[in-house]
């Protein structure tokens, strides 16, 4: 237990240092959220139901009791490595995120609900692997914004996009590009903008990830057409400072469907 506390404290300290380097305290004074983006990679079969039951009945209620909400839970509809369950956990505190597992282990209600998931034998695990990234919200979009359809449990799909950059300098310029006009172009085109996150800890750094919402795939395609034809986008994207080929080396685009228990 002491070793776990030491490792968790070390991770929290590292995350705080990275957050400070990335400019966590911005001039506007608006606090930025932190996000854990977690992936449960599974195999088709009983694993999916067991993991979904754990997330819906144990994990999300416990995280809500810790003050973390809304929690997003999405199945991967279009993209590699299906089936995968994505869980998006927001928090105002990076330390709360990286110490969450320690607090969960002390939550008797959580431990009771999580027991079927946690106690699966090695020959029949509940998942193949778990992968996780820690992000900080962009200065220009400091807080997660669920789409209006969430409150009515309406039909919606989400697009999760990750932009990798060849260097840290190029990455900083791409983040700057969002803060210097790209948000407004998304808004004009009618996108549901859920969150924008700069990855502090995770694979394939440097990169950023953001999430958009739509009623369906057809609406998504129509709005991307409107976005690409916007004269403000054409002007921004052809600026020498933001030349696409030099600041973005790879894009991953996934389509996610919210589960019945998703709070986003």
Element (H or E) spanning 258, and its range?
A: strand 250-258
Tokens at residue 158, please?
């989400």
CATH 3.30.70.100 residue ranges for the chain: 28-136, 137-258
Centre a 10 Å sphere on the Cβ of residue 134 and count the other Cβ atoms it contains.
Answer: 21
pLDDT top residue among 21 and 49: 49
Report helix, strand or coil for 133. Answer: strand
- CB distance 110 to 54 below 8 Å: no
| 137-258: CATH architecture | 2-Layer Sandwich (3.30)
Q: What is the pLDDT of residues 176-215, one digit of tens each?
A: 999 999 999 999 999 999 999 999 999 999 999 999 999 9
Q: What is the pLDDT of residues 69-103, one digit of tens each?
A: 999 999 999 999 999 999 999 999 999 999 999 99
Bridge partners (DSSP) listed for residue 137? 197
Q: Which of 247, 213, 224, 223 is nearest to 74 (CA)?
A: 213
Tokens at residue 119, please?
């106690």
My answer on whether omega of the bond before 189 falls inside 30° of 0, hence cis, is: no
Q: What is the pLDDT of residues 233-245, one digit of tens each?
A: 999 999 989 876 7
Q: How confident is the model at residue 29 (pLDDT cuts 50, 70, 90)?
A: low
Q: What is the DSSP string of 72-101?
A: EEEEEEESSSSSEEEEEEEES-HHHHHTHH
- CB distance 211 to 159 below 8 Å: yes
pLDDT at 153: 84
Q: What is the pLDDT of residues 131-145, one digit of tens each?
A: 999 999 999 999 999
pLDDT top residue among 170 and 153: 170
Residues 91, 252: Cα–Cα separation, whole Å:
25
Q: What is the pLDDT of residues 109-127, one digit of tens each?
A: 999 999 999 999 999 999 9
CATH of domain 28-136: 3.30.70.100
């Amino acid at each position: 237990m002491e070793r776990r506390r030491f490792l968790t404290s070390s991770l929290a300290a590292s995350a705080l240092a990275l957050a400070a380097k990335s400019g966590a305290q911005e001039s506007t004074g608006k606090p930025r959220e932190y996000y854990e983006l977690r992936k449960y990679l599974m195999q088709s079969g009983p694993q999916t139901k067991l993991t979904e039951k754990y997330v819906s009945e144990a994990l999300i209620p416990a995280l809500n009791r810790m003050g973390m909400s809304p929690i997003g839970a999405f199945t991967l509809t279009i993209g590699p490595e299906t089936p995968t369950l994505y869980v998006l956990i927001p928090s105002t505190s990076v330390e709360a995120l990286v110490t969450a597992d320690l607090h969960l282990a002390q939550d008797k209600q959580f431990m009771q609900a999580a027991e079927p998931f946690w106690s699966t034998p090695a020959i029949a695990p509940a998942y193949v692997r778990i992968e996780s990234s820690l992000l900080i919200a962009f200065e220009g979009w400091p807080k997660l914004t669920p789409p209006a359809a969430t409150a009515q449990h309406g039909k919606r799909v989400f697009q999760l996009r990750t932009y990798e950059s060849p260097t840290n300098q190029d990455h900083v310029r791409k983040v700057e590009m969002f803060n210097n006009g790209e948000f407004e172009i998304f808004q004009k085109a009618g996108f549901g903008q859920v969150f924008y996150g700069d990855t502090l800890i995770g694979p394939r750094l440097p990169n950023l990830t953001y999430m958009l919402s739509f009623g369906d795939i057809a609406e998504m395609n129509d709005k991307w057409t409107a976005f690409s034809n916007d004269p403000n986008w054409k002007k921004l994207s052809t600026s020498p400072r933001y030349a696409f080929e030099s600041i973005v080396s790879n894009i991953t685009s996934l389509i996610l469907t919210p589960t019945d228990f998703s709070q986003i």
